[in-house]
Amino acid sequence: MIEGFEMNVVALPLINPAPSLENCDTDYDGQISWDLTLVETEVLSIRQDNIDIEYYRLLSDLETSSNPILDPTNYINQDLEETVYIKIINTISPW
């Protein structure tokens, strides 16, 4: 018996390295409100359909999809120098 099956190939999102964000702490308290979404246009180059973007403070959180930054448009840094991780998800085939 011979059986056939269908295959569906979904392209990975095209991404670029994220730029660094810098700002001046004018009140000298060590914290600034950041709009992390400002890097999206450079990371994605063009708006791509079927893409979700999540932000994480820790790489381990990104790897386990836990503790995402809930409001990336108003993120308050916790350290003077900090790395924030971006996860780009293809919603058609998220694996």
Q: Residue 13 — very low, low, confident or very high, per pLDDT cuts 50/70/90?
A: low
Convert 31-66 to b/e letters by CB count within 10 Å (16 or more is b).
eeebebeebeeebbeeeeeebebebbbeeebbeeee
Residue-wise pLDDT tens digits, 19-70: 888 988 899 999 999 999 999 888 887 666 778 899 999 999 999 999 999 9
Bridge partner list, 86: 55
Whole-model pTM over 0.85: no
**What pLDDT score was predicted for residue 94?**
54
Q: What's the whole-number mean pLDDT along residues 64-81? A: 95
